[in-house]
A and B are shown apart, each in its own frame.
Chain A
Amino acid sequence: MTLAEAQDLFAALVTGDGPVDPAERDALLAGDAELSASDRAHIYSDMYLFRLAAALREDYPLLARLLGDEEFFSLGAAYARAHPSRHPSLARLGADLRSSLRERAGYRADLADLAALEWARAEAFVAADEQPLGEEALRSLGEDAAGARLSLVPCVRLLSLQNDVAGLWADLEASRAPQPPRPGPSSLVVWRKGFEVFHAAVSAEELSALSAVQGGATLGEAFEAFAALPDPTGAALDALASWIGEGLLARIDPTASGPAPN
């Protein structure tokens, strides 16, 4: 048997993805009076799902608290089977749990949104560092500010959700009884300041403006998101002050002013 054939067979034993002929397994692995080849293969297959579910628990501690150990393991194992890891870091395993929860019946309607918030916070915690833009740098743009193309610091995550889960998150974090689902559109911004991760509810217009900045729009273009509000200029200036204060903006490239690149 070649190395490749041995690994094909061993991987099938570990993941349980397909049936393995017991005769082939016994020809591959040595067994003894203490542990048969089957026993030995099971040590690896049991560890496989346990390890992946444990890794998911690291990134989704509040979801795990809400579901309880048994249910979370069941969810994690099913997810791990359906979403094989493609990244060397286990910390990336849970990237698709939100969409997986949306497709899975039998859970609270807001679990996918809670998962989205926990994942965004986990990503923000380890996102690459970048010096945020200060008020001075912005002021130095003067009249060119509307044409400036900024970016968001790498830790910022923008969430457009179908339920308001900020309260649920706070209840679980404080080990209080979780409130029932609160359906309805909700916009959250997640970011890191120093080493601490924050999230805050924002208006749909502000989320849209931040999304435009993230997508490469100029400040002027981004602020068109506020156009339908009674005081669009005031809303834009308030938002900008908040973004600067929380350190969400980065990199001013004056040479990049002008139309957005195609």
Chain B
Amino acid sequence: MAFRRANLGHGVGLRSKHYARFLEERPDVGWIEAISENFIGVGGRPLAVLEKVRRDFPVVLHGVSLSIGSVDPLDEQHLAGLRALADRIQPAYVSDHLSWGTHRGRYLHDLLPLPYTEEALDHVARRVGQVQDILGRRILLENVSSYAAFRGSTMTEWEFLAQLSERADCGILLDVNNVHVSARNHGFDARGYLAGIPLDRVGQFHLAGHSDRGKYLFDTHDAPVAEPVWDLYALAVRRFGRVPCLIEWDDQVPELERLIEESRAAARVEARELAAREAA
């Protein structure tokens, strides 16, 4: 089950504000990303919506609680629930974050950064293998926005992610907005980040809005994609080619039409850059 990129096009996230629309009609989107934790072990309207959406579109299950980098044991009950959900929904991908969020049995419900060390790389690669064995499929791991970096890191985030994806044979969900946010917050070159990610490991892009808090950028997912992120996305398309791309908009969620328009804007950027790449 080696990692393979899916061909999905441009999608949007499934948010409760739009449940009625997805139940009653088939909106003009390419695919849907659903937050795994919202659907594990539930029934009622959320599950009905997800099953209707799955009948209409390819679905990606995107998690926030895997805590792949934690030194806590993996949550086997959670993974069993995720496996059952994935078996039921048959998603195009199962993804989560390169981060940690559990500590001594407690869920911190955050995507905390890791020190990028050999010890952490060994630890995370081993756990990705365990998760992939339990799920019976390759997963994608997403780079997170971060506001702090560890003095003890011995490699960059992109070096860590590149080595991890090779060692664990997993995919990368490259969040272009997160690259931009972290680059600004830590003072590295976002283009260098993209250049350090292996071409054949990127299975999906995320685009989202962020807010500028003066001394740092904050990953809020509550606004349109910012211009510098569109520019970085253009570079990403040039480098990685046609990759499934999703607009994340989780707070102050707009009407579905606005979300779809943002997704179409991404499709236009992709078409332009693919044409330029072809011509070059």
| A interface with B by C-beta (< 8 Å) | 1-4, 6-8, 10-11, 14-15, 27-30, 32, 34-35, 37, 39-41, 43-44, 47-48, 51-52, 55, 84-91, 93, 124-130, 154-155, 192, 195
Contacts and interface: CB of A to CB of B under 8 A. Distances in A.
Contacts, number: 119
8 contacts: A6-B152, A27-B151, A28-B151, A43-B147, A43-B148, A126-B42, A126-B45, A129-B47
A197 to B, nearest CB: 9
A126 to B, nearest CB: 4
B169 to A, nearest CB: 22
Q: Which of A15, A27, A30, A93 has the most CB of B within 10 A?
A: A30
Given A3-B71, A4-B71, A126-B44, A55 B148 contact: no
B112 interface: yes
Contact of A126 (B43, B123, B187): B43
Nearest to A196: B45
B65 A89 contact: yes
Given A89-B38, A192-B44, A7 B100 contact: yes
Given A35-B216, A85-B109, A195-B48, A44 B147 contact: yes
B24 to A, nearest CB: 12
B186 to A, nearest CB: 8
Number of chain B interface residues as a range = 35 or more
A152 to B, nearest CB: 14
Interface in B24-82: 37-38, 40-48, 65, 70-71, 75, 78
B109 A55 contact: yes
A28 B47 CA distance: 43
**9 shortest interchain CB distances as A-B pairs:** A88-B65, A129-B43, A40-B148, A11-B103, A195-B45, A126-B42, A128-B43, A85-B107, A84-B106
A51 B71 CA distance: 23
A39 B215 contact: yes
A2 B117 CA distance: 10
Given A47-B110, A85-B109, A93-B109, 11 more contacts: A3-B120, A3-B123, A14-B108, A14-B110, A30-B149, A40-B148, A43-B218, A89-B37, A128-B42, A129-B43, A155-B44
